[in-house]
Amino acid sequence: MKTLDEYLDLAAQAHGHLCAGQVLGVRMAMLGLRELGIEDPSLERKRFVTYVEIDRCATDAIALVTGCRLGKRSLKFFDWGKMAATFVDLPTGRAVRVVARQDSKDRARAMFPELDKEQAQQKAYRALPDDDLFERQSVRVEIRPEDLPGYKAPRIVCEKCGEGINFKREIVVDGRTFCRACAGARYYAPLK
């Protein structure tokens, strides 16, 4: 595994700036991987899956450290608004959920009262021990075969819109097969 400073330099380049969220994300991913015994994530990308619970700066840093990507189906996103990630070792089923402690912001202000909030958090998040930054918990994550990286399955066609549906995401209503949007779960509204 690279050093914290190496990852932070890469995170700043990839994300466009370095912020407290990037520092937390890098530290969170490093901790999660260490908990699973993964020394070099670049050599073991097909071994684990990462679930993130927020779409903020930390998620970019977590993806950078782990090498997990949405397009590779190894990064999973749940929009729960929590600074948390779960790291799952696929061969063993072991998983650890790492959550940023809410009181870490207070610790940062106490450590560096002369700095503004962002600078204090960045500096403190680099220095604080893992136990002062994060809560960690062993968890179980049931991953369906269709959610695993590399899963292959036939493509189903929605009977209403004709669009293809992958990975068993179709919905059957009264014997008819629909995509989620045509079944009423759309996040968008057609204009025509």
Residues 6 or more apart in contact with residue 152 via CB below 8 angstroms = none
Give which of 32, 18, 78, 33 is closest to 52, Cα–Cα. 78
Residue 45 contacts residue 74 (beta carbons within 8 Å) = yes
* pTM of the predicted model over 0.85: yes
Q: What percent of the chain has pLDDT over 70?
A: 100
Domain 153-192 adopts which CATH fold?
A: Wheat Germ Agglutinin (Isolectin 2); domain 1 (3.30.60)
Distance CA 173, CA 28 (A): 42
Domain 4-143 adopts which CATH fold?
A: 60s Ribosomal Protein L30; Chain: A; (3.30.1330)
Q: Domain coordinates of the chain in residue numbers? A: 4-143, 153-192
User: What number is the average pLDDT over the span 6-27?
Assistant: 94
Distance CA 134, CA 47 (A): 24
3-class secondary structure per residue, 137-153: EEECCCCCHHHCCCCCC
Distance CA 186, CA 170 (A): 13
Beta bridge partners of 157: 164
Q: What does the pLDDT read at residue 152?
A: 83
- Categorize the per-residue pLDDT at 167 as very low, low, confident or very high, splitting at 50, 70 and 90: confident
Q: Please check the confidence at residue 190 and state whether its pLDDT lies above 90.
A: no
